[in-house]
Structure 1
Amino acid sequence: MIADYTEAAVCRVDDLVDGQLKEVRVGDTDVLLARADGQFYALHPKCAHYQAPLAKGLLNGHRLICPWHNACFDVRNGHRLEAPALNGLPTHEVRIEGGQVFVRLTTDKESLENPMVAPDPSTEETYVIVGGGGAGAFAVEGLREGGFIGKIVMLTASQEAPYDRPNCSKDYLQGKAPDEWMPLRSDEFYKDYGIDIRTNQHVTSLDATTRQIELASGETLTYDKALICSGGKPNPLPGLDPELKGVYTLRSLHDSQKLREMGQQGKRVVIVGSSFIGLEGAMSLRKLGSDVDVVGMDDVPFAKIVGEKIGRLMQGWHEKEGIRFHLGRKIDRLEGSGAVNAVLLDNGQRLSADFVLLGLGVKPNTDFLKAIPREKDGGVKTDNYLKLADGLYAAGDIAHYPITDGTQRIEHWKVAGLQGYTAGMNMAGKEQSYSSIPFFWTNQQGKRINYVGHADHFDAIIYDGDPETDEAFLALYVLNDQIKAAAGLKRDQDIIAIRELLHAGRMPSVEDVRQGINWVDELKKA
């Protein structure tokens, strides 16, 4: 009898220890082999997010963590545990015989949806999601994973259903990512799970006492529970004439499409603001052939976040590609009759411009909320379960959530996805406390900097490797004699280990860190 499956011995039992990963071959198929608690598991070897090689990631208990963007999966069943991946990983059968590990291929799929319930059309209970970004996208899946079978309505001001927003400043803006890559899910997915996505919907009022939402169209919706994940709105340039054409922001897919059309060979663009998004935009427009000037108020880009040494390094990467910087400068005014043609700096320097890109950060988009107190920055304060009021939750850019020594608000894609998912599960009745350690990444001239933790200021920086001379390095940010955050280039496993240690409350002392730490070994300690 001829077997109708492919199976192979891939290693001996004692070839791997607990916590070890290895990519193996079964027939013509690559498979990730993992060992945890004495058990072997076989999974698809590429991350469901951007296809990163998971063998270069890290296994902490049953948590399999991607090296690039820290998506996380359960090694036992392949389920997605953390954003930015939406799907889980297919698994294969494993058996032990004669001291050898055999893997039998059981699927040829590259990713699988987490288990979700189907909607019940007879159920009238209605949950509303205000916002169609990362938090909203993960929230609707959290609702169905959590067992909610009622109606789900997503209201988004965008022209599109949820899409891969981080790519808008990177490959998509450069013309390297086609349109079909951008949607997070297909229209069929949302239809199958009964998720009613209403685009071009502007919410003018949400009253937490009456549980009513008013739209600019005049329609009023009543909700049983709602999640506010309305994101941020770009900060304006003070004194800007609203009628002046040729001034853009980079916040949406539509913005990216417009800038891609504008930023062709020889076009002159001035970017106001030296933020991460501003410089990712500068990078991408330069790759399109634009002539790029960057104006920033800080003397060194990103110095307040990653320190001056790394900030200067990143500035140098851009300068090598022909991007010019004007730092420690303010905008005096934009010039042009009807459309911008120049930017005048506060030192009198005049920069010619075919168009201007504003990268001045965002503030929480919460003006429409009624009966909900707001923080000084416009955000809203949640409890540990991301709850604002009875039947009302918040996630993403607008949410101040509790931490050990106060609250914090984070504006990053992975954080938004994790919070949206947690809020969705809690709305479905699961009562999961949100306690994740923040993580973000940025691509600056093809070099990915990963950052974990949060330090809006710091007393000192401990370097492992020299950013000025080494190809790979870590920077650890110290506040009040504690490691609060870390940034790294080509130190993916270390960044993962640091995040897991921060989450577990097991971060080594500053003194020990100064003596030198093997972060992966530190994580493996009991």
Structure 2
Amino acid sequence: MSDGQEPLGGPDLAKGIALSEIADGAMLLGHTQGKPILLARCGDELFAIGAVCTHYSGPLAEGLLVGETVRCPWHHACFSLRTGAALRAPALDPVSCWRVEQQDGVLRVREKLESAAPPAQPTASGTPGSIIILGGGAAGNAAAETLRNEGYAGRITMLSADESGPYDRPNLSKDYLAGSAAEDWIPLRSPTFYRDRGIDLKLGARVVAIDARKRQVDLADGSRHEYDALLLATGADPVRLTIPGAECPHVHYLRSLADSRALVAKASAARRAVVVGASFIGLEVAASLRARNIEVHVVAPETRPMERIMGAEVGNFICSLHEEHGVVFHLGTTVTSIDERSVTLKSGETIQADLVVVGIGVRPATSLAEQAGLVSDRGILVNEYLETSVAGIFAAGDIARWPDPLTGEKIRVEHWVVAERQGQTAARNILGRRERFDAVPFFWSQHYDVTISYVGHAEKWDRTDIDGDITTRDCMVVYYRGDRKQAVLTIQRDLESLRAELAFEKTSAP
């Protein structure tokens, strides 16, 4: 979405304001020529950029100013005040820049500046002549775009097993499934985008083998592609049920756009659904199906949803939130069989259902990499530059297990923003930049009108501190291991989430 979608607010900056109205290190929302403008002051310099994030139209004026950058409060995209460039995912497009004029203590925002591509950095010696990207998801798409943005002019081939071009996967379980977002909002780019940038995007391309010694990949159709550098971004596959009836036609999984389309089609006639698993995907699907007025039952083995990841207090809140919207939970049990009209639980209970959605987790798609001899341990092991055990082969996204500077441990995270940021870093390192991947993990989860934001990574914690009241949907939860913060969860405290991210970055800085 462009930076002109929001209602205008603040002063008309074309008419001018006193310089004293904006302090050093402060931001001010205004408008000019019918466009919302963010005015920011950094020392003696003033910057004016589009005030709306190019990701989901978040209000940048409510974000955080960090040096000569501003971070979006919704999903933590970051933009340059000087150039408007999108510096960090999930935003991929820049915001506009405007000329600021100062005279006699009055500043005015004048004309919109012509956008210019950021100057490409000099490429290191030994830059690969051809690059193959396996995977057309978050990491793969971000890597391809970054390579071109960095000035790489060699051959880029993106091999995606998906039949659809790169798309906004988080929306598949949220607004698109709920019926509040049209499908034309889902693709990240148009087909012409890739053609115009010389990115050879091959869809439905199933790779069957990687020969790391010969530097080539073999496809199921018998074709072979050679590479000088390879990025593995194959993502993850849903864990599937292995119970009687698991292959019934009304049993669905949600990983791809095709999966979501099938669910949307089925939901148009469904009356009662059973969601197997109280994962993020499972609960977001539950909320989206309730938005379609479908009766929803959630079956999960835990005593409260999301407790392992977010703790008992947040788990209780999520459970209550869904129950307020009519979801019925069946916790502490599992599904033992499915037939065309119902599911049977381990407890012996039978639930009538004409739609079953399974969300019991995913597994990283690492088989190709392992067969090629890459070292793995619950994911493909990479160093701080996202390079695998084989020189010239990098990995990013759901399959990569990397050294986290915050915890000192090797971690693997299955979240969209992390995958995009790793794709961006991997691309620069393929070009020889030697850039450490030290971004703090971030994700968001949407349940009805409640968005939960989470920064950091707490696989284990000893205690939590809660500021505010979870039940009133206004809180910050800090997860500790010993005396060290591991993660911060917020509800309706976007600025505090950004500040927590920044604090983690300073803690993990070399």
Q: Same fold (TM over 0.5)?
A: yes
Is residue 297 of structure 1 aligned with residue 301 of structure 2?
Answer: yes
Is residue 46 of structure 1 aligned with residue 52 of structure 2?
Answer: yes
Kept in 2: contact 1:87–1:114 (CA 8 A) = no
Deviations along 1:366-404, one digit per CA (max 9) or x if unpaired, are 112233344342x10101110112111000000001123
- TM-superposed CA distance for 1:355, in Å, is 2.1
Deviations along 1:423-482, one digit per CA (max 9) or x if unpaired, are 1111122221110000000001121110000001211111110212x3311000011211
Kept in 2: contact 1:265–1:289 (CA 8 A) = no
Kept in 2: contact 1:10–1:24 (CA 8 A) = no
Q: Tell me what 2:497 maps to.
A: 495
Q: Tell me what 1:214 maps to.
A: 218
Single out whichever of 50-59 and 425-434 deviates more from structure 2. Answer: 425-434
- TM-superposed CA distance for 1:170, in Å, is 0.8
**1:8 counterpart SS class:** coil
- TM-superposed CA distance for 1:169, in Å, is 0.6
Is residue 173 of structure 1 aligned with residue 177 of structure 2?
Answer: yes
Single out whichever of 305-314 and 26-35 deviates more from structure 2. Answer: 26-35
Give, in whole Å, the separation in 2 of the partners of 1:198 and 1:402.
Answer: 32
**1:32 counterpart SS class:** strand
- TM-superposed CA distance for 1:124, in Å, is 9.6
Is residue 372 of structure 1 aligned with residue 370 of structure 2?
Answer: no
Q: Tell me what 1:362 maps to.
A: 362
Kept in 2: contact 1:211–1:223 (CA 8 A) = yes
Q: Tell me what 1:196 maps to.
A: 200
Gaps of 5+ in 1: 1-5, 118-122, 508-526
Give, in whole Å, the separation in 2 of the partners of 1:124 and 1:63.
Answer: 31
Q: Tell me what 1:479 maps to.
A: 481
Give, in whole Å, the separation in 1 of the partners of 2:53 and 2:451.
Answer: 17
Deviations along 1:322-351, one digit per CA (max 9) or x if unpaired, are 1111111112222x2xxx321111110001
Is residue 452 of structure 1 aligned with residue 455 of structure 2?
Answer: yes
Deviations along 1:35-64, one digit per CA (max 9) or x if unpaired, are 123311000010010111111111011221
Give, in whole Å, the separation in 1 of the partners of 2:59 and 2:275.
Answer: 35
Superposition TM-score, scaled by structure 2 size: 0.92
Deviations along 1:265-320, one digit per CA (max 9) or x if unpaired, are 65221111000111101111111122111001111111111111111111111111
Give, in whole Å, the separation in 1 of the partners of 2:418 and 2:411.
Answer: 12
Q: Tell me what 1:522 maps to.
A: none
**2:367 counterpart SS class:** coil
Which amino acid in structure 2 is aligned with residue 328 of structure 1?
A: G
Give, in whole Å, the separation in 2 of the partners of 1:38 and 1:298.
Answer: 56
Match 2:268 to one of 264, 273, 284: 264
Q: Tell me what 2:394 maps to.
A: 393
Give, in whole Å, the separation in 1 of the partners of 2:393 and 2:508.
Answer: 34
Q: Tell me what 1:237 maps to.
A: 241
**1:210 counterpart SS class:** coil
**2:470 counterpart SS class:** coil
- TM-superposed CA distance for 1:506, in Å, is 8.1
Q: Tell me what 1:512 maps to.
A: none
In structure 2, relative to structure 1, the CA distance for the partners of 1:441 and 1:171 (3 Å cut) is same
Is residue 346 of structure 1 aligned with residue 352 of structure 2?
Answer: no
Single out whichever of 252-261 and 138-147 deviates more from structure 2. Answer: 138-147
State the number of aligned residues.
489
Deviations along 1:114-165, one digit per CA (max 9) or x if unpaired, are 6679xxxxx9922110000110110001111222111111111111111111
The CA RMSD measured in Å over matched residues stands at 2.0
- TM-superposed CA distance for 1:197, in Å, is 0.6
Kept in 2: contact 1:19–1:34 (CA 8 A) = yes
Give, in whole Å, the separation in 2 of the partners of 1:248 and 1:27.
Answer: 49
Give, in whole Å, the separation in 1 of the partners of 2:317 and 2:430.
Answer: 44
**1:14 counterpart SS class:** helix
In structure 2, relative to structure 1, the CA distance for the partners of 1:355 and 1:471 (3 Å cut) is closer
**2:443 counterpart SS class:** strand
